[in-house]
Every structure is written in C-alpha cells, then in structure tokens.
Structure 1
C-alpha cells in the first residue's frame, strides 16, 4: 500500500497543524475580517500547538506587522494575571516591539534564520516611540556581515544624531563616506554637512560634504539640492566666524548669501531656510531684510514656534522699537514651556530697562531667578526603558 514505507503520521499531522495555524490569520486578513485576524494571531501564539521555532517566528513577525499597520482596535492579551516582573504591553506599538525583539533574540540564539524585514519593522516601531537609541542598540547586537557595513554605519549615524550624540554620529559617517566605502551617498553627505554646520570647528569639513552632496543632486531631487545649498550656506557662515582676515570673512559672507539665495529659489517656502536667511541678514546689519524674514518665518509657522518670535523681538529691539519687541517676546513666552523661558525672560528684562521701567525689569528677573532655582532643585527625569 505504501510504496516508500509507512509515513510518519505524527510528523505529517504536526506539519498540517503548523500550516493551518500559520495560514488561518492570513485567510481572515484576505477576507477583510480584522478582528478575526487579530484573534487568530493571538490563538496561534498563546495556545499549545507545539509549533517549531521558525513557524512561531514567522507568525510573530506577521502579527507585529499587523499591529503596526493594520489599523485595528487593540486590546491587551488575556493571559490571566501576569507573573511578577513580566512586561504587559499597553498599546499595539508596545506589543509589536515585544514580538519583534523576541524574534531577534531567537536569531541571536541561532534558533531561526535572519529576516531583514524584522529589523525594518522594529526600526519603524521604535521611531514612532522616539527611541532611536534602542534602534542603535539592536543594530549593534546584529552579527557582523548580516548588514552591508555602510548601511549599518549610516543607520547608526542617524540614530546617534537623533539622541544628540553628534560626534559619534559624525564618526560613523566619516567611515561610511570614505573613498573606499560609499563616498557618494547623498543622504549621508547631507547629514554630515548638517552636523558640521552646527559647529564652527567642523565648518570647513562640512563645506566639503555639502559640495559633494550638491554635485550628486544636480540631476536628481530639487529638494535635496536645496537642502545641500542650505547646509553649505550654514557651514560657510560658521567658517566666516573663525577666520582672521576681514577679506576672507567678507568673501565667505558673500558665498553664504549666494548659497542661501540659490537654495531659497528652489524651496521658497521652507521655514528653516527663511529663518537662517534672516539670521544672516541680521549678522550683516541688514535689519530691514532680517525683519522681513522674521515676519515671514512667523507667518510660515503660524506663530507656533517660539524661536521665530524671539528672533523678531531681537530684530525689533535692534531697531529700537522696544514696545513692539516686548509684544513679540510675550508671544514667544506664550508658545514656550515654562522650563524653556529663561532666555526670553532675560530679553524681556532688558527691554524693560531700555524703556526706563526698572521695577518691571526687576520683576522679570525675579521670575527668571525662581525658574533657575526650580530647575536646580528639580529631580532628574527618569527615562522610560523598554
């Protein structure tokens, strides 16, 4: 009856169970029944089906993707009272992260094969939670050779930049943009230029990165070219602050304005570009042009960004229009959290002094002193760790 011998009935039965449990949620998904899909995934993972590790990992990955992109009403897993110390997810994002980190752990332990989409889903989930440091941690745990090293370096650079570790980020980008690696990666060049544009000591290096990025985008995205010109202008501006020669400084200022003007011609309504253009005008004592840019920035952001009001107040005070500057300062205070109002309170106090109102200036300084003392006595914020 059986030409090839008696089949292993238990093995065949388990294979059938594996396929059925794995495919049932996908069938419900195709049928458009999202709640049944949700329930099927939960049953597949919580019931004792004796599934192999590869099958469980596939189900966990698909369930995590469904939680992230399925737009289904989420409810916590009903597994009775959790054991002490057990993490219980409170949102669909948290449950997706838990599932994906579990799959990664199995890969690190050699129980499953590598699936790059798991890291892609996890990166998206952690980005939503504003946790780039955790993305970096997981990337650094991945075994060498799993990712192309330039891709890994670039992703780590973005992660570390996201948590404020700009020097670490730039070091990764330097390795990635080495002539023996991937020196024409436009996004990496732009990030390197942006980091350098924030530090006078790195301005010359940033100029080179920005020019290389612009050269790469000549026939590509206009927005990327505008961004490259913007960063080039910012780097040239920073470089002008540290040169010793007046002639060099004047030339760098001219190049800065040329780059920013060209960038604005490609992206006229970019608020950050308008703001930086206004700062350049102010540094060159062209207060009318600076005032125009300050007003444009406030209009472009709907008055919701405090630095626009602060800049407007500074330009107005430079024109000795103190009462208008005070109105702008008050607007900035309304848009700024209490903890971040220190610089604005100093401006307000100085404006009161300039208007011969010493008692009101004293009151502003009193509020500033109370804020400084409150910040000094405030306990450090405890970060959420997942």
Structure 2
C-alpha cells in the first residue's frame, strides 16, 4: 500500500531522459518498466511496479497508465487504464473514509491508515481522469465525458460529506479540481449542452473544496455558456435552492449574477483582474438595458485596474443610454482632452451625437464631428 506520509506518495520525475517514480519511501527508475511496455509485456511491467513499490493491482495499473500517458502513448495508456476496476477500488476505499475519527489512543495508527487510503484514492481517481483525457485526445468525447463523470461520482461515494478542506492529499485535490473543470467542457465539445449545463451546476453547488481560481474559471465559463449557448437552462432544482435566496428567472439573469460575483471576488482580493469578465458583463447588462447597473460597477472598480480613459468612455456610453447626457458629455470632454486621447473616434462620435440633441451645444458638436471626420481613415473611413 502507499505510504502514510506526504513524502511517501507516488511522485513522478520526467524532466530527465530517465524517469523515476517514488512510492512508500522507495525510488525506482522506470527504464526497466518502460522497456517491458515497449515489448508489450504489460503484466510483467505491472509486476515490476507491484514488487518494487509495494503497490496493489489498481495502483500499479494506474501508475503504468500514467507512465504511458506521459510518454505520449495515448492509445496504450487507454488500454492500461481499461484494466482498472473502479467500482472494486471504490468499494475498498469507502469504509476507510466513512469510519469515525479514531480515539486519541489509536489516533496515530488511524491517521496512518487514512493517509494510505487518500493516496490510494488519489492514484486510482487520477487514472480515470487521465483515461478521460486520453479519450478526449482520441476524439471520443462522449466516452471521455462519461469517464470524467465517473471520477466525480466516485469522489461523492468516497466522501459522503464532501471533500474536507483540511488533511486532503494534494494530488487527490488537484485531480478532483481538474475533473470538475473538465466535465462541462467535454459535454460541450460533444454537443451535449443540457448535460454541460447540469455539469456546471454540479460543479458550483457540490462540495468539491475548489480553490478560488478553479471556482472562478468555472463561473466565468458557465456565464459565457449561458449567454451564448442558445440553450435555456431554467432555474436550478429546488434541492439546490437556499431559502430566501434570489433565483434567476432565465439564462441572462443567471449569467449576470455569476459575473457580478466574479467582480466582487476581485474587489475582495480573491482573484486577479480579468478584463474579459467586465466585457461579458457589459454585453449582458446591455442586452437587458441595465447600463445604469454597469455604470455603478464601473464606478466601484479601483483606479488603476484599467485605463481611466476607457473607464470614462464606457461610463459616458452608459449614462447617455439612460438619458444622462450632461454627465456623459462631461466624461467625454475629459477623455478627449489634449493630454488624454483627443483623437479617439468612438468618443468623438458619441460626443457629437450628444451635442446634436441640444442646440446650445451645436458648435461644440460640430467641432467633435469635424475631428471625427479628420480621424476616420483606413479601416475607420466608412464611419
């Protein structure tokens, strides 16, 4: 079985021509194993790993498959992964994770057994995840999605109360995070959009112990999917709804909520700034005529996140859309100042349009229009 310390977990070193693997405190070069794989002797290669690293059948198979995957032999890796009995492995792992916390007297042994089980689960689940990746590379997208789903189903069976946020093997957590992100993408690539919708919601509503970056990528991808997929999602199931919480009525509302959550995460310092989030939010709020909400979001963004002229121009567009032309024009005057971007064609056209609606601003509007004509060259000449 795998060792109880994190340093005893299986690791790989493939930066050099001679690969090495570690397990249970033992280091083993893979040259002999790879030679047997090249000869097609999978069983002999498996036996070498089992004897050299004290692994059981599933663990040795998982390690062999990963080795083939690393070497770029996707079909060979898939053949090795097919030999892993996932249900049997889960059945063996379930009792060890469902047992109660050991007593203080027996805690050392219990902790050791728990760590062993985590390492075993990590290796087997990673193998199924890599099987899904192999199928994806071979273009078998439906099969890949089903295999990826098996990883998440297995995790839910092993961890009945969700993955704890402490004392979890890093490789196990990484595999879970990668599988959670991959599943909706596989369903989309396979053209199964309703399944993709369910996978996104499962990713965000279940207890996967995702990091902020993982969760944010999923939220952003889901928001984009909601806006552009053409598939009406409908509200989340009643089981997923929290009493007193707002339930979005349609795709666009749900996408806007997700994007606004991402903006809040940035304000709180949980994620780095992603300009595309604001671009998607601008598009979504413009579709439903809520540019005043967009203006409020822009005003709350800290200075320096993006160029002040871009902020002024976007705010001006938001204000002009809701009839606040005076505020919009004041912002455009700032952005078109000689020390800022006086030749910005979009800003000049918007300023000219606003001035054309007020006779007192006609002369100023003519000036903006003339500058726009002078700068409308090349690809902008048609404007």
Q: Give the direction of change, closer, same or farther, for the CA distance of 1:218–1:54 in structure 2 (3 Å limit).
A: closer
CA-CA distance at 1:63 after TM superposition: 0.3
Q: Match of 1:192?
A: 351
Relative contact order higher in (CA < 8 Å, ≥ 6 apart): 2
Q: Is the aligned partner of 1:164 residue 2:312?
A: no
Q: Match of 1:177?
A: 336
Q: Distance in 1 between matches of 2:359 and 2:187?
A: 58
Q: Match of 1:211?
A: 370
Q: Give the direction of change, closer, same or farther, for the CA distance of 1:219–1:102 in structure 2 (3 Å limit).
A: closer
CA-CA distance at 1:83 after TM superposition: 4.4
CA-CA distance at 1:6 after TM superposition: 2.8
Aligned length: 224
Instruction: Indicate if the aligned counterparts of 2:224 and 2:255 stay in contact, CA closer than 8 A.
Output: yes
CA-CA distance at 1:164 after TM superposition: 0.5
Instruction: Indicate if the aligned counterparts of 2:220 and 2:277 stay in contact, CA closer than 8 A.
Output: yes
Q: Please state whether the residue corresponding to 1:12 is helix, strand or coil.
A: helix
Runs of 4 or more, structure 1, over 6 Å off, are none
Q: Give the direction of change, closer, same or farther, for the CA distance of 1:81–1:51 in structure 2 (3 Å limit).
A: closer
Q: Give the direction of change, closer, same or farther, for the CA distance of 1:66–1:168 in structure 2 (3 Å limit).
A: same
Q: Match of 1:127?
A: 286
Long gaps (5+) in structure 2: 10-114, 120-168
Q: Distance in 2 between matches of 1:83 and 1:51?
A: 20
Q: 1:54 aligns with which of 195, 213, 216?
A: 213
Q: Please state whether the residue corresponding to 1:113 is helix, strand or coil.
A: coil
Q: Distance in 1 between matches of 2:262 and 2:346?
A: 30
Matched ranges for 1:41-80 at <5 A: 41-80=200-239
What is the TM-score when the length of structure 2 is the normalising length?
A: 0.56
CA-CA distance at 1:222 after TM superposition: 4.8
Q: Match of 1:6?
A: 8
Long gaps (5+) in structure 1: 225-386
Q: Distance in 2 between matches of 1:93 and 1:126?
A: 9
- Measured on the aligned residues, the alpha-carbon RMSD in Å equals 2.0
Q: Distance in 2 between matches of 1:182 and 1:221?
A: 16
Q: Distance in 2 between matches of 1:122 and 1:140?
A: 14
Q: Please state whether the residue corresponding to 1:187 is helix, strand or coil.
A: helix
Q: Give the direction of change, closer, same or farther, for the CA distance of 1:219–1:14 in structure 2 (3 Å limit).
A: closer
Q: 1:22 aligns with which of 173, 181, 187?
A: 181
What is the TM-score when the length of structure 1 is the normalising length?
A: 0.55
Q: Give the direction of change, closer, same or farther, for the CA distance of 1:41–1:84 in structure 2 (3 Å limit).
A: closer
Q: Give the direction of change, closer, same or farther, for the CA distance of 1:158–1:104 in structure 2 (3 Å limit).
A: same
Q: Is the aligned partner of 1:33 residue 2:35?
A: no
Q: Distance in 2 between matches of 1:114 and 1:97?
A: 17
CA-CA distance at 1:54 after TM superposition: 1.1
Q: Please state whether the residue corresponding to 1:80 is helix, strand or coil.
A: helix
Q: 2:295 aligns with which of 130, 136, 140?
A: 136
